Structures are given as structure tokens and as C-alpha cells.
Chain A
Amino acid sequence: AQSVTQPDIHITVSEGASLELRCNYSYGATPYLFWYVQSPGQGLQLLLKYFSGDTLVQGIKGFEAEFKRSQSSFNLRKPSVHWSDAAEYFCAALPGGGNKLTFGTGTQLKVEL
């Protein structure tokens, strides 16, 4: 079955430290891949997306993600985390030619000052 897995439920980092949030997918063919961020009480905002081409994708707010086909992964990274990055992060996948957008269970990021 098609699925998206985010293995880390909670992550805590210190402000200024680097961040990596993991995402793995299980699809027959490479899907379109997305990272969204959700601040408390808010809707979801797109950080970045991967459709094809360059495997390192740049997004908003200084985030980037790397697509690795061999590992079926699409990990989100940020070199230096700011306190305002504290939020919940969701990885999502969409099969090519399809409409069913599937989300992972999310990773809650806490930033220590």
C-alpha cells in the first residue's frame, strides 16, 4: 500500500543548531513529494516540493530537502534553526497521475533557547 512514514514523532533542537527531519515513502513509482509546516492552531503551509530534476530542493524560510531514490527518502533540513521554526512538520506524497495526497503522521519540532 502507498504510504508515507515520518519515524520521529518529536524532535528537540537548540536554537542555532542544524535540523534534519526524516521522511520515507512507499510507492510503486516515485511520487511527487512535499513538506508542509503547521503552526499551532493554523492550517498547513507548503515549505517545498519535489517533482523531478535536481534532487536538492530549496524552499521557503531557509529549508531544503534532498530526494534520495535509493533510500525512498525525502528528508528536510535546515542549517540553523530559529525559535520561530517550532511547529509540526508533515511530509506528503502524491502518485504521478493521481489525486490521492497522503500525509505522514508528522514530526513535532521543539526549539530550545
Chain B
Amino acid sequence: NAGVTQTPKFQVLKTGQSMTLQCAQDMNHNSMYWYRQDPGMGLRLIYYSASEGTTDKGEVPNGYNVSRLNKREFSLRLESAAPSQTSVYFCASSPLSTGATEAFFGQGTRLTVV
């Protein structure tokens, strides 16, 4: 059972380039999340999706877009990368739309924007 799979694991972008971070879960979970982790700031929520076809902004959505392609997949897109988006990105999923259980995390994507 793979759980939550993120690709790629590492990425270096030049300022202004675009890219999509992929996330897939095989646990039939309804809710999915994207966080970024920066030193001293914990995990900050970028976007989340309560169910297929719905997405909501989190604390730090600016500069990002998301797509809940189907129940399994939730992608995060950077249209024009900036150095401030250098971070470690985590995708997570949880079973119920009301969120009354814990989230399961992927291994993270380490993104550097130069």
C-alpha cells in the first residue's frame, strides 16, 4: 500500500519557470491538502480539497493553483516561480470530508527556485 505519493522529490527551477507538483493517494480518501514547510514557520496550508471537484484556499495561496483531477490526485501548480517559493512541499490526505480523522502525509518535494 503506497499511501500518499509525491513527485518529484527534488526540483530546481529558475525564476519565472512553471511546474506542477503531483500528488496521488491510493487510500480512497476524500480530503487532500498541500502544505509548504519553511524553517521556523511550521507547515502552512496552501490549498485543500474536501472532495473531488472542490478546492479551497488556505493560509498562503498566492502564487499557486491547484487541481483536484479525480479522487486520487491533487496537483499543485506554480505558474511563475519565485525565490520566495523555495520550500519543502507536502501533500496529505484524510478519509472523510468532515475531516474527523488524521491526515496521512507524503514524503515531500524539495523545491529550490534560483
Contact = CB atoms under 8 A, between A and B. Distances in A.
A99 B93 CA distance: 11
Q: How extensive is the interface on chain B, given as a class?
A: 20 to 34
Interface residues of A, number: 26
Given A43-B105, A44-B90, A101-B103, A90 B98 contact: no
A99 B105 contact: no
Given A43-B108, A103-B35, A49 B97 contact: no
Given A99-B50, A99-B56, A100-B48, A43 B106 contact: yes
B107 interface: yes
B42 A51 contact: no
B40 A9 contact: yes
9 contacts: A9-B40, A42-B107, A44-B105, A90-B43, A98-B99, A99-B48, A100-B48, A100-B58, A101-B45
